[in-house]
Each structure stands twice: as structure tokens, then as C-alpha cells.
Amino acid sequence: MTTHRIAVIPGDGIGLEVTPAGIRCLEALAKRPGLNFDFTEFPYSCEYYAKHGQMMPDDALHQFREHDAILLGAVGFPGVPDHVSLWGLLLPIRREFQQYVNLRPVRLLRGLTSALRDRGPEDINYLVVRENNEGEYSDIGGRIYDGLPEAMAIQATVITKKGSERILDYAFRTAQSRSRKKLAYATKSNGIKHSMPFWDEQVEAIAERYPDIHVEQYHIDILAANFVTHPDWFDVVVGTNLFGDILSDLGPATAGGIGVAPSANINPDPSIPSMFEPVHGSAPDIAGQNIANPIAMIWTVVMMLEDLGEQAAADDLMGALENVTGEGRVLTRDLGGTATTTEFTDRLLAELKG
Amino acid sequence: MTTHRIAVIPGDGIGLEVTPAGIRCLEALAKRPGLNFDFTEFPYSCEYYAKHGQMMPDDALHQFREHDAILLGAVGFPGVPDHVSLWGLLLPIRREFQQYVNLRPVRLLRGLTSALRDRGPEDINYLVVRENNEGEYSDIGGRIYDGLPEAMAIQATVITKKGSERILDYAFRTAQSRSRKKLAYATKSNGIKHSMPFWDEQVEAIAERYPDIHVEQYHIDILAANFVTHPDWFDVVVGTNLFGDILSDLGPATAGGIGVAPSANINPDPSIPSMFEPVHGSAPDIAGQNIANPIAMIWTVVMMLEDLGEQAAADDLMGALENVTGEGRVLTRDLGGTATTTEFTDRLLAELKG
Ligand SMILES: CC(C)[C@H](C(=O)O)[C@@H](O)C(=O)O
Ligand SMILES: CC(C)[C@H](C(=O)O)[C@@H](O)C(=O)O
């Protein structure tokens, strides 16, 4: 009997509503023999910040390290500037644990309608692999002449060979595991002069090790356009931190919306916890009403189960999820239904219990 | 009788095919009394580079300065790295003439089909106002340890108060000139720590001068998603150089494709030439076949006419263009038709002559 120790951070806003949905799924699965979870909940959030002046205590990362995985709802709430809340909680976890892979599947679930004309599940099925530790999200930069007419801010993007190689290697291996053997990469080397040509060179170098993979270069502007006009062209898509971020919101917008998009922040070293979080944020506008779509969180839990080696449980949960969406009877408002967060989760659990 | 001196740079690839289409429209309009053009063609291109080792001669910018406007086809071709061709021609023109506004209308023309389900012309009608001189496209940066495992590249994004104020001011004034009085701005201040919070502050400061404009902040990831799920929310959208670039390819992807998207690189000072160019690039894959869609170029010519103060001619050309698309009989392949570049242009000119 394996017991998986899960650090749970519901966070802010709808994070507080969708996280329990995910936990309920895990608890249901844990009724089966051979699977067990030990949950520790951490209240780190903007509310915590209001009380303690920091998003999480100094030893929080140390606490998380004792766990096999971290399940996070959402971070950020009006009143606390985003760059405070996120740089005080979400981003340090990604960085400290070198969760350098941000894996974000874009797939139109059975029964859901694409925002794209005439597109169905067979057209939209790709994986965004986002570099998650460096690139455009760097600490380096600052201001000069603040408050004066000459004021300016400078921000450094840092792309390292090591950081690029490990994410690209992951992306190529992922492409190898899929039937189409295609990898598209996002760049902007026609406009951004230093970082992007360097990134391209790293891709070209790694590509030589994977002669079986068909590699395609896309500038980010035209890649974004092609997500709309030719989603069927894509299989695995890799990008730097910022470009991966944009693509992994845009992709889901074509596949049922942000309310269904899961993500995993992975450090492939099994001795270090990975973090699982829906792509959506805390959505203050709909928070507290029990109307948030829990699909993203439930699919995120599926990714966590896979990462923990619990493939059978992952398959069962994903199967139940697509049965419910395929049936199309119980859906939340963002998908045109009337179900609450709880009602959707109840229906899913009934399906899971079979 | 005004004679407008136009510098024409057909450039590369399909630039060589769509530019003549634009010129033919201008020549047709010039048959009318009171309107005249004096065209000077410049062969600066990747082919020019192959012969002369530079994209344009040292005094090219000086040559352009003698003109009232620059009409550019497209730049870039396989064999010349993009960062050579573009930093040797397109980007220096934008910079040197401080064409700090890149204006890119996104509007579904009558008769065209959106890639978005159930969306028609009434849903997609906004303007992307892109900062065009600084931001993520800066010269500053370089490499260290090149060729070694420790290699890295650093790229600076530079956002100045002056550069932000002038583009924001333009965007707010543009929003004032439209009926909805809405301005959305792209940011990523939740992830990018230095440049983006600075940009947000500039927006907030300028917004105080325009109390009649309703301002909305969007992080670039969710903004991109909303271009797909809620295009009807948008009126004027302003972004930094890179974000504006992405949004102005993504928007057109929802509105008939890149083959119809126009753009203007504007310096509002009338003594300095602005540059007009379609959003699409040189499209080497379809170049030389006379199948490129000239709509983007023709619409770009409309923007040039407006900028030159020739509103009546601009209206006539745009009217003729939408009559032809609305009729839907003669369209190029990218729009599901069979017409060649020339056939489309012939049809348009017949319509224009009435
Ligand atoms: C070719 C490239 C440098 C250019 C840009 O990014 O500015 C193009 O994409 C555009 O949008 O005009
Ligand atoms: C909230 C923000 C910092 C974050 C990011 O950009 O990484 C989010 O958009 C995401 O995609 O996880």
C-alpha cells in the first residue's frame, strides 16, 4: 500500500472551491485497495498575506519538500498586487523545486464545443510544453529616474543553454512517445535579437539527437494565429516561459475554455515534489458562488496521479470525466450548463463509483 | 493638385506580387482630378542583400525621408536569417522615423467567414495599437560562455515613460474617437516583475487624463484567450511591441486570416514619413505563383490614403473592397476561392471604376 503525501494549497478565490472537488475525487479513488493519500493543507494565500505580511512562511518550501506532490488551487486576489502574490508563492515553488517543465494538454473533451468553427475533438489534441524556470520571468531588472520624465524600466530575459536543453529534451522525448512525432517550437528570432536566436540554436542542436522527430519553427505571432486557423497541425509545442504561458491559455480557449485546462509543473526527479494546478487563476469575479468549473482541477488531479505512477486511477478518473462531459447533461455555466461546482463533482463521483 | 511622393519597397516573396496590386489601386484613384502620386521604387530586399551584403544602402533612410509615405510589401527570405533581413530593413525604418504607432485594425470584412464559431462582422471589430519602437525588441543584450555548457543569452526589454506615454496617448485618443470608448491594455505584470508593473503605472497615469474612457487590464495570456472566446468585448487594444505583435496576428486569424490584415507604422508628425505594410510576411511557400491574397495590401493602401488626408479616396477604395468580398465571387485560395492575385485585383479595379 503506497501512501502519497500531498501538500494541498487551495490558495485564493475559486481555488478554495475547486480544490475540494479535486480532493473528493482522490478520496473516492482511495477507497480502492492499494491506494492511499495523506493530505496536508496549507493556508498560504492572499488572506494569509493580509495577516502575516508574507504569502507563506519562511520555512514553507521546506514543509512542501516532505511531500510527494503539491496540489494548488489558484493564487492572487484583488488588494494584493499580482506581482506580490505570485512572486511570493507560485513562482518560488516552481523555481525552488526546479519544476522546469510546465505541461499543459490542450484537448477538446468529448461533448464540449470548440470556439472554433467546424472543429471537433479530432482536430484539437496537442500538448504545450512550457519552460517554467527562466526566460522572460526573471528577477533581473529595475528602474532608473523613477518619477521623472526620463523614467524607464529594464527587464532582462535570461535563456541558458542548460535550461533550454532540459526543457527541449523533455519536449522531444514527449514527442517521441506520441504517434505523430512532431514538435513545433515557438520563437521570435526575427524580432528579438539576442535571446531568441540563441534559443533557436539550442533547438537545432537538440534536434540532431532526435532525427525521428519532425521539427517546425514558428514565430510566436504566427503560431498564435495557427492555433486558431490550423489546430490540427500541432502535436507537441514547446516554448519559453512567456510564450508557453500565452499558448497554454490560447489553446484552451479553443477547447472548451480556461475552466477545463489542467497543468503540471514537473521536476522529473522523483525525489523532488512536482506541483499540479489548473491553468485558470483565482477568478475573483465568480469566487464564492459555487459556480466555478471544477473540470480543470479534476483533470489536473489526473495529471498528478499519472506523475505519481497511479496510471490506473488516472485512467479511471479521466474516463469518468469524459463520460460526464460526453453525456453533456451536468455542466457548469461557462460550458452553457446550470450545474454548480458541487453538483458537477457529485455527478462525476457517481460516475466514478460506477 | 497634391502630389504624394510614395517610396515603394516591394521587398521579398509575395511582397513582389501584392505591392503591384496596391499600386494599381493608387494609379486608378489618381485618374480622378486632384489626386496624384509620384512613386519611387526601391529594390531593397534579401536579393539586394545577396548582391550588396546589406539590406539597403547607408543613405536609404535619407532617401526615404524625401517621401510622404513608405509602402512596403514584405521582407525576409530563406537563405538570409530573419534577424539579419529584418534588423537591416524593416526595423530600422520603424525606429529611425520614430514610427512609434503600429496600428492594426481587426475587422471581419463583409462576406468573409470567421474561424470562430457563430461569429460575424458585428462581433469582430477592434483596433490593435502596438508600441513600435522599444520594449521587447531592443538591441541590448548578448551572450556569455558561447559554445560552452554554461552558455547563456541575456536580452533586455526597455520600457520608457516617454515611449509609453506617447503610444498610450495615441491609444486613448483613438478610443475617444470611437463610439464604445473602451480601451483594453495588455500586460503581464503578474509574471514579469520589472518592466510590466512599470507599464501598468504608465497606463494608470495616462488614464487619469481620459476619464471618459473605460480602461480594462488584461494579462496577455488571458487576453489572447479572450480574442477567441469574446472578440466582441474589444474596441481599442493597446500593447507593448511584442504583445501588440502577437495580438495583431491572432486577431486577424479570427477575421479571415493573415492574408487580409493591414497595418500602418505611424509617426503622427506629418513632416516624417509613415510606413504602410500588410501584417503578413513574404510567405516563401506560396511566392512566385500569383496566388497571394492582395486584400491586406489593398486595405493597407486605404490606411495610407487616410494618413495622407485623402479620406474620400480611402473610402471609395475600402467600399469597393468590401463590395467585392461581400459579393464573394472572386476570392483567392486562402479564402476558399480560386482567383489569382491579378484576377482579384482586376475585379476590384472594375468595381472601383464602377
Ligand atoms: C517580421 C517581424 C520582425 C515583424 C515584427 O515582429 O514586428 C512582423 O511580425 C510584424 O508584425 O510586422
Ligand atoms: C499567474 C501567472 C504568474 C502565471 C504565469 O504566467 O506563469 C499563470 O498565468 C500561469 O500560467 O500559471
Q: Does B217 touch chain A (CB under 8 A)?
A: no
Q: Which domains does chain B have, with CATH numbers?
A: 1-100+262-354 (3.40.718.10), 114-255 (3.40.718.10)
- With cell 520624465, the residue in question is A149
**Cβ of A91 under 8 Å from any chain B Cβ?**
yes
Report the separation in Å between the CA atom of A168 and the middle of ligand 2, taken as the mean of its atom positions: 20
The 10s digit of each residue's pLDDT in A192-226 is: 999 999 999 999 999 999 999 999 999 999 999 99
**In angstroms, how far is CA B135 from the centroid of its own chain?**
17
Looking at the complex, does the CB of residue A68 fall below 8 Å from at least one CB of chain B?
Answer: no
Question: Residue B3 has what DSSP assignment?
Answer: E
| Whole-number pLDDT of residue A1 | 67
Residue B295, helix vs strand vs coil:
helix
CA neighbor of B192 nearest in space, from B136, B133, B139, B241? B136
Collapsing DSSP to helix, strand or coil, A182 comes out as: strand
DSSP state of A85: H
The three grid cell numbers given for residue A341, joined into one nine-digit string: 461546482
Mean pLDDT of A243-261: 97
Residue from A161, A165, A293 whose CB has the most chain B CBs within 10 Å, to mutate = A161
The pTM is what? Answer: 0.97
Q: What is the pLDDT of residues B209-237, one digit of tens each?
A: 999 999 999 999 999 999 999 999 999 99
The sheet carrying B69-74 orders its strands as B35-41, B2-11, B69-74, B274-276, B264-266, B101-107, B125-131, B236-239, B182-187, B214-219
The nearest CA of chain B is from the CA of A13 a distance in Å of 16
Instruction: Return the SS3 of B177.
Output: coil
**What pLDDT does residue A354 have?**
81
**Portion of chain A with pLDDT greater than 70, in percent:** 100
Joined grid coordinates for residue B125: 471589430
| Helix ranges restricted to H, B30-120 | 46-52, 60-65, 82-85, 91-96
**Is A303 strand, coil or helix?**
helix
**Are A229 and B253 spatial neighbours (Cβ–Cβ below 8 Å)?**
yes
Query: Which tens digit of pLDDT belongs to each residue from B161-195?
Result: 999 999 999 999 999 999 999 999 999 999 999 99
Distance from CA of A301 to the nearest CA of B (A): 23
**Count of other CB atoms within 10 angstroms of residue B179:** 6
Q: What is the pLDDT of residues B50-94, one digit of tens each?
A: 999 999 999 999 999 999 999 999 999 999 988 789 999 999 999
What pLDDT is stored for residue A83 in this prediction?
A: 78
pLDDT tens digits along A150-169: 999 999 999 999 999 999 99
Are the Cβ atoms of B250 and A225 closer than 8 angstroms? yes
Share of chain B above pLDDT 70, in %: 100
User: In this model, does residue B1 exceed pLDDT 70?
Assistant: no
Mean pLDDT of A336-341: 97
